[in-house]
């Protein structure tokens, strides 16, 4: 059993990483705090601010930088102009927006002392009709004013990287008339029912999991009666029920479009299906109503082998762990098999009616992430390039000749605000080639980087098959004549192309420029990063113990000659060209 450790400065993949959660509200929020600490994120430490107006609570500051916070207020208590508007005084929209911005500025100041701050939007009771048909009329309607205030709140917090505005209106809509209770308000000073807090707790848990790198990144799908109606091996691609004017066919096509949308968020698709591969791929390639084509899938196992084994093989091929995957199948027995045989894979119950497929997919909270990067948008193309790369390796036969033919280019630059989100993603999602497996929010990473004795370098990798994007980073700490390699992180997508050695070459050159005499790497083991240890054992660094490796900087650490390094920040210059 993996030992669970708790630490502030080193949150690693096997640690309890959620961190404590602080609640500020102008109503009784105890139900939400209990749901989070006891149910959706069990064991999470929670604390509620002392009873006071939210602006006063915000001014008191955060309990500490390791805390995340929820700031939830009612619009009529936080914004005086809105309080007058809901009593049908003539609304002063400009003043209400100005007050909203002042409120947002207070949240921003408070949030800079937290790991992350979550702000639910303002809502009205479901029964509130305001001015009826005039309630969305500009300059008069209460609903219109509240919509403007929520947009102003979101806009004002846009540049606060660790503040996330949550859509509370969706919680109210999902619960319906049971969402709000004046009786509860008078009795407990909480206007929302437990059902609303359950929705809020689930969204908070998903957001916090995403912040800690826990979002799922791969959906593994069956084919027959999942992506199309019918058994392709029996009816051929021409006989499949997909698209057209049939209700079920339209539902299958709609589900495919929803899956295609996920790929634009950086979530990959794969196939595990009991079928003849040639027949199934012909359907994917030739059916005119297919929204998903072969290039949309990171991989596939289409055969008559046990599906659980196919899932394991797919994960190994794509380079992801079971905790990154979701498995969707219309067969309850196949779902049970994969769920029991591949621990960590999320296997949701799946409806039998294809008209409910899109809703079931959209209801999954496991894909939430704190930001979307350029690499996310391009990931499908990157995986398609990787398939071509693997095919070329099989054809080449000679690994060394293949490596030399790739024309690998590694571009290095210091961490900037433009690359911060992607670098944070790497910190929180990379497991195998990860020296320390620190888990940091973007504000924590930038704060660490800002120290004079710290450097964080980022690496983009490209070759003749395509651009893999920002896929590596190193973090260095300088202590007199010693440089410590705190972080050595590389995406599994570019492992095995001599990029690992190139990162060490750049790290050593940069440490030498900074005046260090030796470069020290200390491996911190997790259940997933054994490949990193194996690499350092063969890296040429001197092993002083099983987890400590040293390179004397009087000797240059050579890069593979067939890898080109482009140094955009001059991090390796001053007489030591890359």
User: What DSSP element (H or E) covers 347?
Assistant: none
pTM above 0.75, yes or no: yes
How high is the pLDDT of residue 377? 83
Q: Give the mean pLDDT of 125-147.
A: 96
259-to-109, 222, 415, 475 alpha-carbon distances in Å: 39, 13, 33, 36
Output the six-digit token pair for 169: 């209106």
How high is the pLDDT of residue 4? 23
How high is the pLDDT of residue 17? 55
CATH numbers and ranges of domains, the chain: 21-212 (3.40.50.1110), 218-363 (3.40.50.1000), 397-567 (3.40.630.30)
Supply angle C-alpha 214, 294, 231, rounded to 5: 95
User: What DSSP element (H or E) covers 264?
Assistant: none
| Range scoring the smallest mean pLDDT among 198-202, 380-384, 471-475 | 380-384
| Range scoring the smallest mean pLDDT among 18-27, 99-108, 352-361 | 18-27
- Contact in structure between 66 and 21 (CB atoms under 8 Å): no
Rounded distance between C-alpha atoms, residue 256 and residue 420, angstroms = 32
How high is the pLDDT of residue 5? 25
Rounded distance between C-alpha atoms, residue 578 and residue 560, angstroms = 11
- Contact in structure between 318 and 272 (CB atoms under 8 Å): no
Give strand pairing partners of 70. 23, 118
How high is the pLDDT of residue 327? 98
- Contact in structure between 379 and 218 (CB atoms under 8 Å): no
Length of the chain: 578
Question: Residue 14 pLDDT > 90, yes or no?
Answer: no
How high is the pLDDT of residue 385? 79
Q: Give the mean pLDDT of 152-161.
A: 96
Question: Residue 384 pLDDT > 80, yes or no?
Answer: no
Q: What is the CA radius of gyration of the chain?
A: 27
Q: Give the mean pLDDT of 305-331.
A: 95
Q: pLDDT confidence of 577, banded at 50, 70, 90?
A: very low
How high is the pLDDT of residue 413? 96
- Interval 20-74: pLDDT, tens: 999 999 999 999 999 999 999 999 999 999 888 999 999 999 999 999 999 999 9
How high is the pLDDT of residue 123? 97
Where would I find the beta strands (DSSP E) of 31-85? 46-48, 68-72
Q: pLDDT confidence of 380, banded at 50, 70, 90?
A: confident
Percent of the chain whose pLDDT exceeds 70: 96
According to DSSP, residue 559 is labeled P
The residues, ordered by sequence, that sit 6+ positions from 257 with a Cβ below 8 Å of its Cβ are 291
3-class secondary structure, 247? helix
Q: Give the mean pLDDT of 310-324.
A: 93
Q: Give the mean pLDDT of 319-341.
A: 96
How high is the pLDDT of residue 394? 75
The residues, ordered by sequence, that sit 6+ positions from 560 with a Cβ below 8 Å of its Cβ are 403, 498, 501, 502
Rounded distance between C-alpha atoms, residue 40 and residue 433, angstroms = 30
């Amino acid at each position: 059993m993996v030992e669970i450790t708790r630490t502030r400065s080193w949150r690693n993949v096997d640690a309890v990483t959620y961190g404590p959660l602080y609640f500020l509200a102008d109503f009784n929020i105890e139900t939400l705090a209990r749901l989070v600490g006891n149910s959706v994120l069990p064991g999470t430490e929670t604390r509620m601010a002392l009873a006071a107006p939210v602006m006063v609570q915000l001014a008191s500051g955060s309990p500490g930088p390791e805390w995340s916070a929820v700031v939830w207020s009612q619009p009529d208590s936080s914004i005086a102009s809105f309080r007058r508007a809901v009593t049908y005084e003539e609304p002063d929209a400009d003043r209400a927006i100005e007050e909203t911005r002042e409120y947002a500025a207070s949240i921003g100041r408070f949030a800079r002392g937290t790991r992350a701050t979550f702000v639910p939007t303002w809502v009205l009771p479901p029964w509130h009709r305001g001015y009826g048909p005039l309630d969305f009329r500009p300059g008069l309607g209460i609903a219109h004013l509240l919509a403007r205030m929520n947009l102003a709140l979101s806009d004002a917090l846009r540049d606060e990287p660790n503040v996330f505005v949550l859509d509370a209106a969706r919680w109210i809509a999902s619960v319906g008339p049971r969402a709000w209770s004046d009786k509860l308000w008078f009795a407990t000073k909480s206007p929302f029912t437990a059902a609303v807090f359950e929705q809020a707790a689930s969204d908070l848990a998903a957001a916090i999991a995403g912040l800690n790198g826990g979002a799922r990144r791969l959906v593994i799908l069956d084919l027959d009666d999942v992506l199309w109606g019918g058994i392709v091996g029996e009816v051929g691609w021409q006989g499949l029920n997909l698209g057209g004017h049939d209700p079920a066919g339209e539902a299958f096509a709609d589900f495919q479009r929803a899956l295609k949308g996920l790929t634009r968020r950086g979530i990959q698709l794969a196939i595990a299906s009991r079928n003849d591969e040639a027949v199934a791929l012909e359907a994917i390639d030739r059916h005119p109503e297919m929204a998903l084509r072969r290039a949309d899938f990171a991989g596939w196992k289409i055969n008559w082998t046990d599906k659980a084994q196919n899932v394991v093989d797919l994960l190994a091929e794509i380079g992801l762990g079971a905790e990154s995957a979701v498995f969707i199948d219309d067969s309850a027995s196949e779902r049970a098999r994969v769920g029991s045989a591949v621990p960590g894979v999320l296997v949701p119950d799946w409806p039998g009616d294809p008209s409910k497929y899109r809703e079931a997919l959209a209801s999954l909270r496991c894909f939430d992430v704190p930001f979307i990067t350029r690499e996310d948008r391009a990931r499908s193309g990157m995986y398609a390039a990787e398939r071509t790369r693997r095919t070329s390796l099989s054809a080449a036969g000679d690994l060394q000749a293949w490596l030399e033919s790739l024309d690998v280019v590694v571009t290095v630059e210091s961490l900037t605000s433009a690359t911060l989100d992607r670098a944070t993603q790497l910190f929180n999602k990379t497991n195998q080639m990860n020296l320390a497996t620190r888990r940091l929010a973007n504000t924590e990473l930038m704060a660490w980087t800002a120290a004079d004795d710290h450097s964080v370098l980022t690496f983009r990798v490209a070759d003749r098959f395509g651009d893999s994007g920002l896929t590596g980073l190193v973090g260095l700490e300088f202590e007199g004549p010693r440089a410590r390699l705190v972080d050595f992180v590389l995406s599994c997508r570019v492992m095995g192309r001599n990029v690992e050695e190139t990162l060490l070459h750049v790290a050593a050159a940069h440490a030498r420029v900074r005046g260090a005499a030796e470069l020290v790497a200390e491996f911190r083991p997790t259940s997933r990063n054994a490949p990193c240890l194996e690499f350092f054992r063969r890296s040429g660094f001197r092993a002083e113990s099983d987890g400590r490796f040293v390179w004397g900087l009087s000797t240059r650490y050579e890069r593979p000659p067939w890898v080109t390094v482009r140094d955009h920040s001059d991090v390796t210059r001053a007489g030591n060209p890359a």
